[in-house]
Amino acid sequence: MRRRDLGGVGVGLVLALASCASTEPPKPAAPVAPKVEHPEERSQAMPTVVANPLLADWTGPFGGVPPFDKVDVKDFKPALEAGMADSLATLDRIAADPTPATFDNTIAAMERAGRTLDRVAAVYGVWSSTMKTPDFQAVEVEMEPKLAAYQDQITQNERLFRRVEAVYSSPDKAKLTPEQQRLTWVVWKNFVHAGAKLDAAAKTRVAAINQRLAALYTQFSLNLLADEESYVLYLKSESDLAGLPEPVRGSCSAAAERLGHKGEWAITNTRSSMDPFLTYSDRRDLREKVWRTYYSRGDNKDAHDNSKGITEILRLRAERAKLLGFPTHAHWRLDDAMAKTPEEAMRLMMQVWPSAVARVHQEVHDMQAVADKEHAKLKIAPWDYRYYAEKVRKAKYDLDMNEVKLYLQLDKLREGMFWAAGQLYGFTFTKVPATAAVPVYQEDITVYEVKDEGGKHVGLWYFDPYARTGKNSGAWMNSYRSQERFDRPIDAIVSNNANFVKPKPGEPVLISWDDAVTMFHEFGHALHGLNSNVTYPSLSGTSVPRDYVEFPSQLNENWLSTPEVLSRFAVDVNGHSIPKALVDKIEKARTFNQGFAVTEYLSAAIIDMKLHLAGDTPIDPDAFERDELGKLGMPAEVVMRHRTPQFGHVFSGDGYSAGYYSYLWSEVLDHDAFEAFQQAGGPYDKAVAKRLRDTVMSVGNTVDPQAAYQSFRGRGPEVAAYLRSKGFPIGPTKQAK
């Protein structure tokens, strides 16, 4: 999931783009950090900006929609600057209020601040992740440090913090509603977490660090995007295509034509292109070339190499953590997470690691046996893993995932997601016609109106499915507007974004099983936003701790494989449903290759945590990764899902730094929660679905996540269901803390 909070000053901190999948042209110079002004030096009114459409209230149907049709890149800088100035002036007036601080005149007033910037930031975030043209990249390089400085000007405003603390410490707080008390705590906690209690010198240094980090994060993303767009393998002959099934060939042909190489086949440097090629290509030499190119992104010792930037990022994060009173960046990041401490997160990861590695060794043994039987005369290498795993799958389970792919049409699976959401939450999705005055930022985007079971409007869902130049790779969810009931009811606007290869006119998009799972995952984030039913925007939807935000999305993956979805929506181009025998094979092979899947992910999560537990020790990313994986006993045949130089989750922002473990943490919740459905009336049990909506999906951050989960499940989460789902051995049942 990706999320950017630039307004929302009640909660405060900038959450740089962070994703559920990975992400990211001449190298720009690092910008000069802007001056951090004192409050009294700032204008008390927003400067006059002539006819900038980004600053206007959203108009049109559905309570207003983003003005994507009016965007001009040159408008972003003045709009962001005007939005920040307006927000800071409003906050200065709150800070200078001579009356005693109360919830209404301080906390609630802060929730009203920054509305203009919220609107600008929503559109800016879309361009940052999906329309990153060279002229926009220049804006981003200049503005990211300024946006970081803006956040520091809020959290370092002493008069404002004194008022926040007065409300937080007042005995009158007990008279507030539970949601108001939660909001007060969240605001106070974010100020303290950002350094509001530091002395002047420390505040100045933290602000300088934040601005430098913002520049480094932007450069990391640009370097990664450059490597993803610059390296393309063009296949020119039939022999180059050996082993590739027709749907993969078609996607490669379409990609090549899009890149100006009509008549050839392109393997782009993205996971969605790399993965099927490594799975099916008979050409071991080309598999190795594609594998090395993909896993060398950001690590080519050229102008786009990320190693030096990572070293500086880690050093600055460690320094900032110490200034803020924490031993390491990991301790600072997890201070307000569900796990609470990095030690607790590491405990869970290391509880799973030995079983995952043991399974990898068994998987490699099975693959090597197939290779030997075929007289391949090779030792399984990382670029062989997917290829021979597919052969083992066919031999062991008589399951050909390419056969499954014939029944996985993108449009039909989207309908399946809608249907399942209707069964669970009562939602209906209706495509908004082009005549409805809802502009989009690119012709391939579609918009759907969401209504509840009573026919009431709930929100809008935008879908951006195809890869294109300037768009980050991977898949993610964005929130353009959060639901709230503060001064008036405001409905959610959310989006899902993917990177499928756009088909030729009239052809369906056939996707892999893994891609289908990812679609349901990201749609789970969207459903989290759409189900929100809270008062204050800072507590709305997905604005929850990082290691809890992935819970609703990972839980939603489970409905893809239900017979109800597959029988209705897994259909081939002739309308034939996927055969039950094939569905049975999928279920039988459910735990197949889980050693690879878990080890690939978990190694990245462990290295992320170890990098940030190393404190201020100087780190060479390549050497650290190699040495620590060696200590862990990382199988030679598997590589981290995101190698350090391309780890956008961790180094394109603070969002998932020391937090990539969140997927495992949330997956434990997910499997434990889905068992509640299975133990009741099945995946679509109405009573359990209502309890999920009432206790988890609708409450946002108005309730502590541990308490919310306890309300849903009747107890804390247990690890056993996760281990069962992977086919790993289960020791004594333990609750996750």
Low-confidence winner among 198-207, 435-444, 529-538, 727-736 (lowest mean pLDDT):
727-736
d(CA 185, CA 577): 52
The pLDDT of residue 101: 98
Query: CB-based burial of residue 580 (10 Å sphere; 0-12 exposed, 13-18 middle, 19+ buried)?
Result: exposed
342-405+592-726 matches 39-225 in CATH topology: yes
Does 449 participate in catalysis according to the annotation? no
Q: How many CA atoms lie less than 13 Å away from 267 in the CB half-sphere?
A: 26
**Mean pLDDT in residue range 230-238:** 96
The pLDDT of residue 564: 96
d(CA 579, CA 571): 9
Consecutive H or E run containing 370: helix 342-373
How does pLDDT run across 131-166, given as a tens digit for each residue? 999 999 999 999 999 999 999 999 999 999 999 999
Low-confidence winner among 15-19, 107-111, 444-448 (lowest mean pLDDT):
15-19
Please count the other Cβ atoms lying within 10 Å of the Cβ belonging to residue 589. Answer: 15
- CA 524, 528, 529, 530 torsion: positive or negative? positive
Which tokens in the block code for residue 98? 């001579």
Q: Is the pLDDT of residue 505 over 60?
A: yes
Q: Is the pLDDT of residue 501 over 90?
A: no
**Mean pLDDT in residue range 529-556:** 97
Interhelix angle 662-679/594-613, nearest 10 degrees: 140
What ranges in 532-593 are assigned the alpha helix state H? 546-556, 563-569, 580-588
**Mean pLDDT in residue range 549-555:** 97
Q: Is the pLDDT of residue 730 over 70?
A: yes
729 confidence band (pLDDT: 50, 70, 90): confident
How does pLDDT run across 466-494, given as a tens digit for each residue? 999 999 988 999 999 999 999 999 999 99
How does pLDDT run across 317-369, given as a tens digit for each residue? 999 999 999 999 999 999 989 999 999 999 999 999 999 999 999 999 999 99
How does pLDDT run across 282-321, given as a tens digit for each residue? 999 999 999 999 999 999 999 999 999 999 999 999 999 9
CATH code for the domain defined by 39-225: 1.10.1370.40
- Using DSSP, state whether 109 is helix, strand or coil: helix
How does pLDDT run across 393-424, given as a tens digit for each residue? 999 999 999 999 999 999 999 999 999 999 99
Structural contact between residues 465 and 451, judged by C-beta atoms closer than 8 angstroms: no
Query: CB-based burial of residue 104 (10 Å sphere; 0-12 exposed, 13-18 middle, 19+ buried)?
Result: exposed
The pLDDT of residue 434: 86
Structural contact between residues 456 and 489, judged by C-beta atoms closer than 8 angstroms: no
- Using DSSP, state whether 620 is helix, strand or coil: coil
- Answer CATH for 410-543+560-566 from 1.10.10.10, 3.30.565.10, 3.40.390.10, 3.30.70.100: 3.40.390.10
Q: Is the pLDDT of residue 265 over 60?
A: yes
d(CA 535, CA 12): 17
pTM of the model: 0.88
**Mean pLDDT in residue range 548-558:** 97
The pLDDT of residue 731: 60
Q: Is the pLDDT of residue 119 over 90?
A: yes
Say which residue, 725 or 48, is predicted with more confidence: 725
Low-confidence winner among 42-51, 208-217, 379-388 (lowest mean pLDDT):
42-51
Say which residue, 243 or 13, is predicted with more confidence: 243
Q: Is the pLDDT of residue 14 over 70?
A: no
CATH H-level superfamily of 342-405+592-726? Neurolysin, domain 3 (1.10.1370.10)
φ/ψ of residue 476, rounded to 5: -165, 170
Single-letter amino acid, residue 282: D
Catalytic residue among 144, 522, 557, 625: 522
Residues 6+ apart with CB under 8 A from 630: none
444 confidence band (pLDDT: 50, 70, 90): very high
The pLDDT of residue 272: 87
Q: Where are the domains of the chain?
A: 39-225, 231-294, 342-405+592-726, 410-543+560-566
Consecutive H or E run containing 345: helix 342-373
d(CA 728, CA 707): 28
Single-letter amino acid, residue 234: Y
**Mean pLDDT in residue range 185-197:** 97
The pLDDT of residue 504: 85
Mean pLDDT of the chain, nearest integer? 92
DSSP string, 183-230: HHHHHHHHHHHHTTTS-HHHHHHHHHHHHHHHHHHHHHHHHHHHHHHH
Q: Is the pLDDT of residue 178 over 80?
A: yes
**Mean pLDDT in residue range 609-622:** 96
Please count the other Cβ atoms lying within 10 Å of the Cβ belonging to residue 72. Answer: 10
